[in-house]
Chain A
């Protein structure tokens, strides 16, 4: 057992922390969001230059071949700074699906475009699309909702039937309605009416599962970073805000609420670590169970921390000019994306949870 960062991981953390510190002070964030694609093109280029878009992919595919812990480090910083750049949809979700599931030559070519930051890709996790083989190849019909990053994606990975398919955004028969999301980023609703793909576009379905697990792990890290930052901001406020002639943090009621926040923040940090380490697990059932548990826990902790942070701030906490309202919105969104808490708990129950019903001493 070892929960320490390696030297390389510490260096990665320093560089992403520096990027977030310099480029994403809260007063610059609104400007970034006001750019045409809803994020800072300049920061996105810097993230590419830092290698963040290459980080999780095998060296054979042109990536850096790093693992879950490195992605967690990045995710935490993204959460703390409330970054808007499309690392999650393009790299973590669509990129992972392509890396694990496309034919090697296709994967290499598509990932090169994604890692360069030039091509944005998106993966649909809420799709009902039918695939039919006919004389002209494969035909896709159906729809997908709230496809993360879909508002500016050039490329979609769309599950249909027993596979997923790489579909360019300008494919005939594909209609894309893009919009911005509460909490940052964008998404799209897609309608497919006779979209044509061929065998080279095929992605094996387990790769989509892998991608969604990587996505949940990234969201967990983001949530842990955002929660820690929301707690730090809140504790600072409790120490400096005075009412009735003393700091409001001297009231035991507020101390206890802040202490409860810390309990949940520690849980979130552990969830992020667990997700990062389980990403390398080869047993698919174990990964599925763990992912469900992680997502359920960050949903619950995120909600409590976000609500408490506002409550302890009083009125200023609901002002859009205050960062707390943005942590609230992002944490709320994280709780709902890639499967909400109820859906995750249902899965976890179906998978039998972690502990059997048998008496402990009777087990091997």
Chain B
């Protein structure tokens, strides 16, 4: 079906635009920017901010361009005195209720409200503050904080949480001067359905939603004499960190990243891709064993902690379907304080493990009570590590890392590429693609095929599982077995797939689920903005990086092979189980009902 074109006029010039576009979208494609604070393409059309107003010939009042569709012959004026005045008034009304202490605000220089005020040359407000109720900052979540004082009630967060993630942890409660974004009975986020994904904070136009910061504890560890601080960088970081330093989105900067981490003062610069390769070996074998032994199928991936929390909250009956594999971040933490400590003869209590993650939920994951296998390992050997020892000590996001690089005075753009350290810095292209939706699946299939047939896939690029489609499926013939797989990203899509599993109607053997749209490259810890376009560019970077790697199959990673020889013995061994696997538990948010 071809879309109908409409002839419209914007500021006196004639354009042909597709039917169904809003005035705001049409103007944008004509290169005319209309300021907006609440509109979110494809997600939110609440039209609450009133910043996007324009004049339409023949209309008595100004209209909100984000929710007004274009029609044949419409004449739009985006820059009249009346429009400017209305925008000023609306911004000033927002500012009247706003703290305006940008210097103290985490969002300083990245804030849409601040930028817009500046763009529109609004410097002050003469309106009185009308909001009366005060709400304390909600800091209950290990991943993010919510500060009502800075909230402009645009409801973008509410819509993302609902439309994209189908979590629905938040909604606007009360009305008028009392309105505020709230969980059920205003209990903190941590007691709600929230899965810590941070998709809300990626779209928040102000500093109302911010990730929890851990940079302080990282600097402290680096500064402490005698402390051995190792850092692991997740696959998705290299595909996005450049955006923080003025690079175009989609530029993989692996070597630069390693160089920057080393300059910051980490003792060893390692790569989470190493444990991503390891995850593939363990999970691939888990799949093969479940198929052979008629275990619970479909097997579902477990490396995305937001997804795990989602399953624990909404699909507790299906927890046996989840792979018992820990995520690469947690496998890394455990191994750093056990195998690596022993191999390098370093006192495990002197090791600090820092993760750089694209993800706010990873902060939550590292704090899960069961994520302390290293302490257990040493206890079994008669050695007590200090109380409260975690496998992973601090988790910082890509944005926090960029802050730290800036604070270090490192000129990121001028760094010469360096390599990650051995042994945990060795990885394959299969580990790299963990960063994109479909990547874990593709990596697993590459290895499963080789394990079952003894030879590599003819074409390692499994294009069927790539792309941005919400749910994608593929089948692969392996020695007479037709392996059926599916990939879902964004929890709304995950919910769809899970409902099918729930009904016993899932045709798949193996499902990959990633919490965030696009996979980890679109995580809540990544640079802002993270539009679909930006996410697609990061995905391209991930696959180009994969193709440039000498090894592209996890089972060929020499460091992983050595790890099995020296420590784990074989996949799914007893040691593997206690070090690399975990369990999940139902989250009952409303007990007794």
A and B: interacting chains: no
